[in-house]
Structure 1
Amino acid sequence: MNSSHTDIQEHVAPERPEQANHAPCISLVIPLLNEEESLPELSAWIDRVAIAHRLTYEIIFVDDGSTDNSWQIIQQLSVQNPLIKGIKFQRNYGKSAALNEGFKAAKGDVIITMDADLQDSPDEIPGLYEMVMQEGFDLVSGWKKKRYDNAVTKNLPSKFFNAITRGMSGIQLNDFNCGLKAYRRRVVKSVEVYGEMHRYIPVLAKNAGFNKIGEKVVQHQARKYGVSKFGWNRFVNGFLDLLTVQFVGRFGKKPMHLFGLLGSLIFLLGFIISVYMIVARIIFEGYSLSNRPPFYIALTCMILGTMFFLTGFVAELIVRNAAERNHYLIEEKLKL
């Protein structure tokens, strides 16, 4: 396997576009976990596509705690091709962590992410690059319109969560889960990816002010090597992370606007019920307060309302003392 890859590199290396001392056109950030069989084929495929389209590039493999020989393969490939770089985690942290570190290291004008299992086709790279650089998109997400995954365990749940994400975020993408995406460099340097939020990077980008988000139908291929890393827990974690993204995006710098409003409404409801019961006690002789359900509803609402309000105050204190409380993304300055 390695010898054939070496032959490919030696054959095409003289034709590779010159990029010494210059930032590459494209940075390919590829997270992986136990993909030793696919790495030589993937890197050779990317190299052929880049050479055919005269694109300078770098490949950043992020080994997310593999237990096979993936890292040794990456080291060998890096010797054969100096444009291949690698980051190795001590243990498995997840795809979001891998992408976040890859984004930090990327130097290209356009950053393209893809999976290492050969289900994402490198032939899509030139089209994604052109949509960002020539058509002006900040982010382009792949859409695997025709899939080769299991319809019950992956396709149907994926469609369900895509529909929820579209409804909550307002971003009209058909496939948030697609790992094949292209970003303008400024986008990936402006967002922080953690938890299970890699599938919600378009939402993070929109919250950061990058609104030109496009979609491209891409080829999906059947898995050739290894096994799927899919797990049902990703849907539960993904939904919770979507709520987090929406909350942080809208109320991250003004939490009192949410907790204060909720607290005020709930407290007001309890207060109105209390006033009604007190008036009824005055008007109607023998009207008892403590043995009626509305009394406990009113008491609960007033306590909950006060707690929400105090939560808002505490959150505001935390935000005001946070290191990035006045960190804002500035697109341009004039004469400053």
Structure 2
Amino acid sequence: MNLSLLIPLLNEDESLKELYTWIISVMKSNNYSYEIIFIDDGSTDNSWPIIEDLASENANVKGIRFMKNFGKSQALHAGFAKAQGDVIITMDADLQDSPEEIPGLYEMITEQNYDLVSGWKKKRYDSVVAKNLPSKLFNWAARKTSGVQLNDFNCGLKAYKNVVVKNVEVSGEMHRYIPVLAKNAGFSKIGEKVVQHQARKYGETKFGMDRFVNGFLDLITIWFLSKFGKRPMHLFGAMGSVMFIIGFLAAGFIGFMKLYNLYNDLPYHLITDNPWFYISLTTMVLGTQLFLAGFLGEIILRTKNNEERYKVWKELN
């Protein structure tokens, strides 16, 4: 199979039939063997009945329905597990991603041998204040932190080799950082393609400030995981050891001064009167806790089991 097209969605019943017709036109004109996987992330409108109708008339249409809204990352994770195509392309269901971009993305994977190609919506039709400016700030921070030089991490239109999606673990709100996850997994040939951005035709955007804030928190998380995710002791253990040694040396100095009666010229004569006693004690306690945090992190890494992060209600085809 040439192509798997993954479309996560939430309450997009108005756009689904139009999007499907557009995709089928592109598939036929390029003579692709394909599958279209709709992942319904807990929609409360008529999205799932429409997907059922599409699947009944076209065996290449498949559906996954979650029991409730688990998030886009979980939807993509389920789609990646089901996808069988040599090339996997993800896109949003709101008609803001143009299916006409599919052949160009496909060729960059198959002919130019990219592992992953991310769309870049260079010209956008979103609100400047609500989305454009936060996105620019977010993308700048993501480039600086991750080292992956993309202009639009949050673009839903991306293409992957099959081997990439089978070897990245997408969880939480990490869908926007799949290029970073791919890089950390060893897939270094990551490209970018300018794609057309469509103005939203139906419904309202699902983007809010909570997603913007969560995006930055996830950016910090993925930076930490890429640096120390496999070796937490290297961070926490090192910090804890340094703090403990500093506290221990400070406590030793205080004891030395008391032992040789060097407090006579100071306003306090007991060790507990010296504020450095509490500073050194606190530093040693914090150092011990950090060291234990690193130790526990190493144990967890070696014993963890993959938890089920979503519940699939129904599947089609």
Q: Please report the TM-score for the alignment, with normalisation by the length of structure 1.
A: 0.86
Deviation readout 1:268-297 (Å, 9 max, x if unpaired): 222233334334443634244423333222
Give the residue type in structure 2 aligned to 1:186. V
Gaps of at least 5 residues in structure 1 are 1-23, 325-336
Residue 284 in structure 1 maps to residue 262 in structure 2: yes
**For 1:314, which of 296, 303, 313 is the aligned residue?**
296
Q: Which residue of 2 aligns with 1:114?
A: 91
**For 2:22, which of 42, 45, 52 is the aligned residue?**
45
Residue 236 in structure 1 maps to residue 218 in structure 2: no
Residue 158 in structure 1 maps to residue 130 in structure 2: no
Cα distance between partner residues in 2 of 1:33 and 1:244: 26
Q: Which residue of 1 aligns with 2:315?
A: none
**For 1:223, which of 192, 200, 210 is the aligned residue?**
200
Cα distance between partner residues in 1 of 2:129 and 2:250: 49
Q: Which residue of 1 aligns with 2:285?
A: 303
> Secondary structure, in 3 states, of the residue corresponding to 1:38?
helix
Deviation readout 1:82-125 (Å, 9 max, x if unpaired): 21111111111110111000101100001000000000011110
Q: Which residue of 2 aligns with 1:126?
A: 103
Deviation readout 1:162-210 (Å, 9 max, x if unpaired): 1111111110111110000001100100112111110111111111111
Give the residue type in structure 2 aligned to 1:214. G
Cα distance between partner residues in 2 of 1:260 and 1:195: 27
> Secondary structure, in 3 states, of the residue corresponding to 2:273?
coil
Cα distance between partner residues in 2 of 1:106 and 1:237: 28
Structure showing greater relative contact order (alpha-carbon pairs closer than 8 Å, 6 or more residues apart): 2
Q: Which residue of 2 aligns with 1:10?
A: none
Q: Which residue of 2 aligns with 1:183?
A: 160
Tell me: CA distance 1:176–1:321, structure 2 relative to 1, closer, same or farther (3 Å).
same
Give the residue type in structure 2 aligned to 1:202. P
Give the residue type in structure 2 aligned to 1:40. K
Deviation at 1:254, TM superposition (A): 1.8
Query: What do you get for the CA RMSD once the two structures are aligned?
Result: 1.6
| Percent identical residues | 62
Q: Which residue of 2 aligns with 1:85?
A: 62
Cα distance between partner residues in 2 of 1:99 and 1:189: 11
> Secondary structure, in 3 states, of the residue corresponding to 2:31?
coil
Give the residue type in structure 2 aligned to 1:309. F
Q: Which residue of 2 aligns with 1:6?
A: none
Q: Which residue of 1 aligns with 2:310?
A: none
How many residues were matched structurally?
301
Deviation readout 1:71-90 (Å, 9 max, x if unpaired): 11111112222211111111
Q: Please report the TM-score for the alignment, with normalisation by the length of structure 2.
A: 0.90
Most deviating of 210-219 and 267-276: 267-276
Cα distance between partner residues in 1 of 2:135 and 2:166: 28
